[in-house]
Amino acid sequence: MVAWTDFERATIKDIFSKIDYEHIVLFLCLCLIVYPWTQRYFAGFGNLYNAAAITSNPKVAAHGKVVMQGLEKAVKNMDNIKATFTELSTLHSEKLQVDPDNFMLLGDCLAIVVAAQLGKDFTPEVHAAFQKFLAVVVSSLRRQYY
Amino acid sequence: NMSLSEKDKAAVKALWAKVSKSLDTFGGEALGRMLLVYPQTKTYFSHWPDLTPGSNPVMVHGKLILGGVTEAVSKIDNLRGGLLELSELHAFKLRVDPSNFKILAHTIMVVIATMFPKDFTPEAHVAFDKFLAAVALGLSEKYR
């Protein structure tokens, strides 16, 4: 089980209460732009031809929301993220067949978008708490791969 | 090896021109975050009295490292050749595991995002990510 300090718990909840949900979905666009091989998992999403197409693609935005909802579930269940994500892990492994190395790429993109939104408030300590949260999420999503 | 297009190089130079005005604090910020967020990197600095973000050794050394990145920007047309001396330093003296280059690259980009959110567009981000990966490759050149 993951040991969270009071600071980390409060920080994660605080970040998720502060982020601009309308624009946070940019993190998925960013992943598809910066790491274009990740587009292999979004073949049915239409036009991903360039950065402009990706950032204006409604399917990408909608899916960004889906991923954010998954993360919110983790925030609500911080003491049991592993169990919370068992089904999602199996889904990514068996049905979606996503190379789990991609999870941290997406996580790093989210860190960058959150950093841009929070600016000075994204202090080193807040940053560290957030990356720890992302690492736990990624580890839980990797759990059911075999 | 993902090589840099002319468009990438232009984007990197434009971004760095904006960013390098804050080089005094920027490097220390990136290094401090790396040590805090990825504590395994502290193993390379056990000889420092203070590894906390904002401390003197961190700020001084961060500035030094970012100076190296500025040098790399100026040698963007030949990173493998231009970074040979720095590569020898990292390979034979510092012996930094190359997996760490990616880590510092990420914290550098997080700092850019906090300080220059409007300039760090997706297009600038991908070009800069490629550039830092190419720098890492240049630094690894002499390893074996």
Query: What is the secondary structure of B66-122 as a DSSP string?
Result: HHHHHHHHHTTT-HHHHTHHHHHIIIIII---THHHHHHHHHHHHHHHHH-TTT--H
B40 domain-assigned: yes
List all residues of chain B from 19 to 48 with a beta carbon under 8 Å from chain A: 29, 32-33, 36-38
User: Does the residue A1 lie in any domain?
Assistant: no
Q: Looking at the domain assignment, is residue A31 inside a domain? A: yes
Mutate which: A30, A31, A34, vs B, most B CBs within 10 A? A34
Residue ranges making up the domain that contains B61? 6-140
Q: Which domain does A103 fall in, by range?
A: 6-142
Chain segment A11-42, per-residue pLDDT in tens: 999 999 999 888 889 999 999 999 998 998 89
> Is the separation of the CB atoms in B4 and B12 below 8 Å?
yes
Q: Give the mean pLDDT of A35-53.
A: 92
Q: Check which CATH number belongs to the domain holding B50 and give it.
A: 1.10.490.10
pLDDT given for residue A23 in this prediction:
86
pLDDT digits (tens, 9 = 90+) for B30-73: 999 999 999 989 988 988 999 999 999 999 999 999 999 999 99
Tally of structural domains, chain B? 1
A88-109 as b/e, with b when 16 or more CB fall inside 10 Å? Answer: bbeebbeeeebebebbbbbbbb
Q: Per-residue pLDDT for B1 more than 70?
A: no
The interface predicted TM-score of the complex, written ipTM, equals 0.81
Mean pLDDT of chain A: 94
Q: Select from A33, A119, A125 the Cβ nearest to the Cβ of B114.
A: A119
In a domain, B1, yes or no: no
Domain count, chain A: 1
User: Cβ contacts (< 8 Å) between A52 and chain B: which residues?
Assistant: none
At B104-132, the pLDDT tens digits run: 999 999 999 999 999 999 999 999 999 99
Instruction: Give the CATH number of the domain where residue A97 resides.
Output: 1.10.490.10
Please write the tens of the pLDDT for every residue from A60-78: 999 999 999 999 999 999 9
pTM: 0.88
Q: Is B103 among the domain residues?
A: yes
